[in-house]
């Protein structure tokens, strides 16, 4: 089972990287790419195979944090 990264930034913005688009920390992979992959029906493993610089823990933490933010906003 993957360890979930808690209380750590897994994405960030930097105007010098991908024009300031949110990317996974330490990569040039846009966070939106993970969302696009899952919406298109691809698995997390497929995403990670196409973007090997993103660690599984980062992707899982991003999904966890995004879910939490949506739930908290809806409450």
**Per-residue model confidence as pLDDT tens digits over 16-36:** 999 999 999 999 999 999 999
Instruction: Provide the residue range defining the domain that includes 61.
Output: 11-74
Which residues are paired to 17 by β-bridges? 14
- Banded model confidence at residue 55, pLDDT cuts 50, 70, 90: very high
CATH of the domain at 65: 1.10.10.10
The answer to the question of residue 2 being in a domain is: no
The answer to the question of residue 26 being in a domain is: yes
- Banded model confidence at residue 8, pLDDT cuts 50, 70, 90: confident
The answer to the question of residue 33 being in a domain is: yes
The answer to the question of residue 51 being in a domain is: yes
All residues at 6 or more sequence positions from 57 whose CB lies less than 8 Å from its CB, including other chains: 2, 3, 4, 5
**The two three-digit tokens of residue 68, written as one number:** 């939490």
The answer to the question of residue 21 being in a domain is: yes
The answer to the question of residue 5 being in a domain is: no
The answer to the question of residue 58 being in a domain is: yes
| The length of the chain, given as a count of residues | 75
**The two three-digit tokens of residue 19, written as one number:** 């024009």
């Amino acid at each position: 089972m993957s360890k979930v990264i808690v209380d750590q930034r897994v994405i960030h913005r930097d105007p010098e990287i991908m024009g300031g688009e949110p990317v996974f920390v330490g990569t040039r992979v846009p966070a939106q790419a993970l969302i696009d992959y899952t919406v298109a029906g691809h698995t997390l493993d497929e995403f990670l195979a196409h973007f090997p610089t993103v660690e599984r823990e980062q992707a899982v933490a991003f999904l966890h944090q995004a879910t939490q933010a949506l739930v908290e906003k809806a409450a």
